Structure 1
Amino acid sequence: MTTPEAAREDLEGPWHVAVVGAGIAGLSCARALAARGIRVTVFESAPAPGGRLAALQTDCGLHDAGAPWACVRSESLAREIRGWADADVVRSWPAVAVEIDNSWIRRASSAGARGLRFVGMPTMAALGQHLAQGVDVVLQARVARLARGREEWFLFDPINRQLGIAGFDAVVLAVPSPVAAALAHGWTELVARVEAVRWDACWVGALTLARACGLDFDVARIHADPILAMAVRESAKPGRVADEAGEGEGGERWTLTAHAGWSNRFSDLTPDEAVRWMQKAFAARLARVLVPKCAVGMRWHHALPVNPLAEPFLWDAERRIGFAGDWCGGATVDAAVVSGTELGKVVGG
């Protein structure tokens, strides 16, 4: 990791690529580029890599606030998972899963609809940290504007300071499509494709109970509820029970996810208001009294792409600007890995 002031050292090499966004797609792209001998610098506005694999810290422990797990559908992620498992960055999770409707609870497969679930250790944020190892990642460096010379791209922050000592031969925008479209506006005809992708917001509630609620499942997909879409017993994931208090000591932690319609409609709620509504909905659906020990809410503005592109990436070879993310090919961790990896194979080719 480096600071913006030391973002670029003068090294020999015909290409230097800037990747904007240190989520899974951006880091996968950077690693694919580096594997081909192409120099790459990643710029990330957040204080840590990982994007929507972020962990939410509460007084009672950590919650996976973004993707709750990864399911393998591609060979690209299968290769990564093998390496992550060897490094103890992920473990498989044979969760007890159910589907909940108004009048019934139906047992579902422990493997999930898309294959065996893998979770990060100690949180999903570990995947981003692991992928960032050995990559030149500049944290807390928000790219606000692009400029182009005759052959090079230049990146600028919100106060118009140049990021990087010199220009870049190509730019990859691995950020949510509205952000990418705003940066690339006027530079490539691909912007029209990028702008067409729509997004849903998502409220997330991190709930720790003062006493265990006695449920016999770990994951619930909730149907026909005005608020909730899913509930995940965070403390049932591998390696989580040892965090803070154990479940028997009042450390049962649940991550609640609101559905898109409610999240979009009630975007003006405060985090405290949102988590209270979600807690009430969970208690009502279970017909139980839930006594919270900690309750924290957060909202993802760009949570899930509604109409992701069919292609895994977009690349303008003439302008040397590309786009990657889980909004290319599907809204999953798997799609993000494939998107970044495949784009990294063609940039500079």
Structure 2
Amino acid sequence: MADQTLDAPVTVVGAGIAGLSCARALAGAGVTVRVLDRGRRPGGRMSSRTIHGRPVDLGASYLTAGADSPFAGVVGDWVTRGLARPWTDTFAVAGPDGLRRRTTGPLRYGAPAGLRSLVEDLATGLTVSSQHTVRQVTPGPVVDGARVPAVALAMPGSQAGRLLDPASALAREAAAEEWRPTLAVVLGWSSRRWPADLHGVFVNDSPVLEWIADDGDRRGDGAPVLVAHTTPDLAARHLAHPDAAVPEVVGAVRSVLGMHADPDWTHVHRWSSAKPAAPRDEPFALVDGIGLCGDGWHAPSKVESAWASGAALGRALAATLS
């Protein structure tokens, strides 16, 4: 086992928005930090993927920022630099058989290059190692046999629990989290076949769908692309073979929006841990130099909460180390 040195980096595991927010808070306090992520690019559940020549948001659908939240400054900077754009404050509400009404809420923001681009912006200037799978985090703290000053696990508790000492209280707390799956099904047509002011649809009482986003509308390019998110129950039945769920999703989208034509193409992405069933009110957990953060904390579960959770843990770790 390597000896801990004074300049050993604090390790953040997970390059989603919570992990990078944590890392930026640490770096801002003068702490040497590295971020390890098993994916090819930063993003986490703010993932975008290029499909038919354009990025499509497959995870989080949008972000919000409370007026009194520090996150509002971050979002404002993204908007000023053209990385984010105000989208809408109005969505439709539907049942399985069609649209019912409109509902208004906070202003939602999208990203012309996909929400992943915002996470990648947070990674600027940080040491981020992609395609790096962490196997074990033990007391010390020790990450895969190397001692570090502290470690932050920015991921669903179900994943963090597999890295930690099973006998530890932190591991039991993490493993107790319940996370719900979803399938994100992308549907593309040759032309738009739904109302121009649809924006997005909350679907109630459906065994198939929870949400439909107009991806061309939120990204601002007008592409005839929808992204449908399934219910957890339907996703759970099709996690092993997600493509098998596509016909049922297509039929449900057509019914909700009153469309007659099938899409010209589809793409499905599986999220085994899409959102927490019961996010905690506390902003993070921290025990003996090992912390947990992300959208399982700082309820309610949303992008802003994940950012705030990571930032709060980063500040707490910096204070402890100082």
TM-score by length of 2: 0.90
| Residue 137 of structure 2 corresponds to residue 174 of structure 1 | no
Q: Which runs of 5+ in 2 are unaligned?
A: none
Q: Can you list the C-alpha shifts for 1:199-234, whole angstroms capped at 9, x where unaligned?
A: 100011111112321424121111111201111111
**AA matched with 1:204:** A
Distance 1:187 1:329 in 2: 25
SS in 2 for 1:94: strand
Q: Which runs of 5+ in 1 are unaligned?
A: 1-11, 157-161, 242-250
Distance 2:98 2:261 in 1: 20
**AA matched with 1:225:** S
Residue number in structure 2 paired with 1:346: 316
SS in 2 for 1:292: coil
SS in 1 for 2:205: coil
Residue number in structure 1 paired with 2:271: 300
Q: CA deviation at 1:295?
A: 0.5
SS in 1 for 2:212: strand
Q: Can you list the C-alpha shifts for 1:169-221, whole angstroms capped at 9, x where unaligned?
A: 11111111111111112474222222221010001111111232142412111
| Residue 299 of structure 2 corresponds to residue 311 of structure 1 | no
| Residue 205 of structure 2 corresponds to residue 224 of structure 1 | yes
Contact 1:15 1:348 in 2 (8 A): no
Which of 16, 20, 35 is the equivalent residue of 1:23?
Answer: 16
Q: 1:226 to 1:186 in 2, by over 3 A?
A: closer
| Residue 124 of structure 2 corresponds to residue 154 of structure 1 | no
Residue number in structure 1 paired with 2:242: 270
Distance 1:103 1:270 in 2: 25
Distance 1:80 1:258 in 2: 30
Distance 2:131 2:171 in 1: 25
Which of 218, 224, 233 is the equivalent residue of 1:261?
Answer: 233
Q: CA deviation at 1:13?
A: 5.1
Q: CA deviation at 1:104?
A: 5.0
Distance 2:32 2:188 in 1: 44
Report how many aligned residue pairs link the two structures: 311
SS in 2 for 1:62: strand
| Residue 253 of structure 2 corresponds to residue 287 of structure 1 | no
Distance 1:121 1:13 in 2: 42
Q: CA deviation at 1:276?
A: 2.3
Residue number in structure 2 paired with 1:105: 100
SS in 2 for 1:46: coil
Contact 2:29 2:318 in 1 (8 A): no
- Counting only pairs closer than 5 Å after superposition, residues 177-188 of structure 1 correspond to structure 2 as 177-186=157-166, 188=168
Q: 1:186 to 1:104 in 2, by over 3 A?
A: closer
Which of 199, 205, 217 is the equivalent residue of 1:236?
Answer: 217
Q: CA deviation at 1:261?
A: 2.1
Q: CA deviation at 1:17?
A: 0.5
Residue number in structure 2 paired with 1:65: 58
Residue number in structure 2 paired with 1:325: 294
Q: Can you list the C-alpha shifts for 1:64-119, whole angstroms capped at 9, x where unaligned?
A: 0000100113613112112222222111112652101246520222xx3xx11011
Identical columns (%): 26
SS in 2 for 1:276: helix
Which of 242, 247, 252 is the equivalent residue of 2:224?
Answer: 252
Distance 1:328 1:96 in 2: 27
SS in 2 for 1:141: coil
Distance 1:176 1:230 in 2: 22
| Residue 60 of structure 2 corresponds to residue 90 of structure 1 | no
Contact 1:18 1:42 in 2 (8 A): yes
SS in 1 for 2:125: coil
SS in 2 for 1:71: coil
**AA matched with 1:172:** A
- Counting only pairs closer than 5 Å after superposition, residues 6-17 of structure 1 correspond to structure 2 as 16-17=9-10
Q: CA deviation at 1:307?
A: 1.1
**AA matched with 1:194:** A
Q: Can you list the C-alpha shifts for 1:305-334, whole angstroms capped at 9, x where unaligned?
A: 001112110011xx2111111001232101
SS in 2 for 1:134: coil
Q: 1:51 to 1:103 in 2, by over 3 A?
A: closer
**AA matched with 2:181:** A
